[in-house]
């Protein structure tokens, strides 16, 4: 089973923050690519419509989130049409937002999400592209080691239902400090 292990030594300015502090300060983050849902991509290929490049950025695992959320500007850049309408709660009160179909490529492991929420994530954390919610985590083992400042994410393919599409090889470049175990 694919497993991604990451440690979080971080730089703040020129100072190296050791992994336990880095993980607490910055959270379990990783690089992801947000792209077209595989069905959308297939449709665009048959119609000759534009196939935009995937949007690459930072994602944070958020065990407090029921569903995965992507940054709204990224959805606009990909030209994603809404797949639903939802009422959301924000600091300013109730608001209505949309969901979009997309794919989330977690360091080589691609997952289709038919109804991914959109929010202005980057206004909360600079360069935040995605919050990985429990809709993806339900198919993973997420191990968080606070004292070591490491975490890993292992995807259990057998539990992935059809609605989350099959786990498929990702398309982007990988960071060399990740260790991937199959």
Partner 1 sequence: MALEAELSFFNEHRDAWCAAHEGEFVLIKGTDSSFFRTDDEAYRCALNQWGEVPVFIRQVLREDPTEDPLSLIYGTLHAPP
Residue 180: which of 104, 109, 103 has the closest Cα? 109
Among 20, 73, 114, 122, binds partner 1 (CB under 8 A): 114
CB of 124 to partner 1, least distance (A): 5
Among 14, 15, 48, 87, binds partner 1 (CB under 8 A): 87
CB of 47 to partner 1, least distance (A): 7
Complete DSSP assignment for 22-36:
HHHHH-SEEEEEEE-
Task: Please state, in angstroms and rounded to a whole number, the distance separating the CA atoms of residues 27 and 47.
Answer: 41
Among 125, 142, 144, 154, binds partner 1 (CB under 8 A): 125
**How far out from the chain centre does Cα 61 lie?**
8
Among 12, 53, 88, 179, binds partner 1 (CB under 8 A): 88
Residue whose entry in the numeric block shows the structure tokens 């497993």: 3
Binding of residue 143 to partner 1 (CB under 8 A): no
Residue 128's DSSP bridge partners are 58
Q: What is the CA radius of gyration of the chain?
A: 17
Q: Which is nearer to partner 1, 49 or 173 (CB)?
A: 49
25: number of Cβ within 10 Å: 11
For binding to partner 1 (CB under 8 A), which residues are involved? 24-25, 27, 37, 39-40, 43-44, 47, 49, 60, 62, 64-67, 69, 81-91, 96, 98-99, 101, 112, 114-115, 117, 119, 121, 124-125, 131, 133, 161-165
């Amino acid at each position: 089973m694919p497993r991604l292990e990451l440690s979080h030594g971080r730089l703040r300015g020129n100072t190296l923050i050791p992994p336990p502090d880095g993980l607490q300060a910055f959270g379990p983050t990783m690089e992801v690519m947000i792209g077209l849902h595989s069905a959308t991509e297939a449709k665009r290929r048959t119609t000759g419509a534009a196939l935009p490049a995937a949007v690459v950025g930072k994602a944070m695992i958020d065990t407090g989130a029921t569903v995965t959320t992507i940054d709204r500007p990224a959805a606009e850049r990909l030209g994603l049409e809404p797949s639903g309408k939802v009422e959301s709660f924000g600091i300013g009160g109730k608001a209505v937002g949309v969901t979009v179909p997309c794919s989330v490529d977690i360091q080589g492991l691609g997952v289709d999400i038919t109804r991914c929420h959109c929010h202005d994530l980057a206004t909360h954390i600079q360069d935040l592209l995605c919050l990985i919610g429990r809709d993806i985590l339900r198919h993973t083992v997420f191990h968080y080691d606070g004292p070591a400042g490491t975490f890993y994410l292992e995807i259990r393919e057998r539990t992935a239902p059809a609605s989350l599409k099959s786990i498929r090889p990702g398309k982007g470049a990988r960071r060399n400090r990740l260790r991937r175990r199959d």
